Structure 1
Amino acid sequence: MTDILMKNNRLPMYNGDFVLTNATDEIKQHIATALNTFYTDWLLDFTKGIDYAYGLRHEEFLRHDIKNQILGVEGVVALSAFSMKFDKTNRSWQVTAAVKTIYGKVEINEYIQQ
């Protein structure tokens, strides 16, 4: 699988062309996109995304929802490690996971702003 690389919400270019990802970076990028998609934000499918507003009051629901979003990414086989914590000063969730993919192991360390 090949995808266009995104860095810091930008599309980097090299010699006038988009930069393409390798297989593991593509899966990391798709996981980051899934984690940063809020529930009902995607106009083509209102069931996609994570309900962070409800999850603030129900952390176990949020934990379950985030795991399901990661496991729902194409190419992800299993979660071998998972943790999340809330940073009160920055009002963000830090999600750390070790993910088994069809291309090997991928480490995820993603911050999600509220």
Structure 2
Amino acid sequence: MVKVDFDAIAIEALNFRNDCFISSHEPINCKNLLLQLNVLTLYRPLSNNFSGMCLKSNEKKFILVNSNHSRGRQHFTIAHEFYHLFLEQSFYPRLFFTSIETCWKYFRIVEYEQILIIKIFQ
């Protein structure tokens, strides 16, 4: 079993906040942050089992978000895609269908999302 370093995940989330000039106690306004980070974002109705995706090419970044989902779930999706776009070392396009229990990398991303968006608002 892989040991998850929750402190390291928390540090990644806090460093991302600092890089974006957001204090650890300040809520995150997703739309403003997407604009600040120059991430082209589309909200479109998609199937219920598809939350979103991202693409990155050099400095260009794109996120697609399922507009059928609740605003809270959309924020969670955006935080998830932020991890891929800004923190993941070996970003490459892929489909991801698995459970948290079977993929520790995904678990790490989910932990990051939870730490990052505890105080999100829009």
Global fold match (TM > 0.5): no
Which structure has the highest helix share of the two?
2
Q: TM-score, normalised by structure 2?
A: 0.29
Which structure has the highest strand share of the two?
1
Higher RCO (CA 8 Å, separation ≥ 6 residues): 2
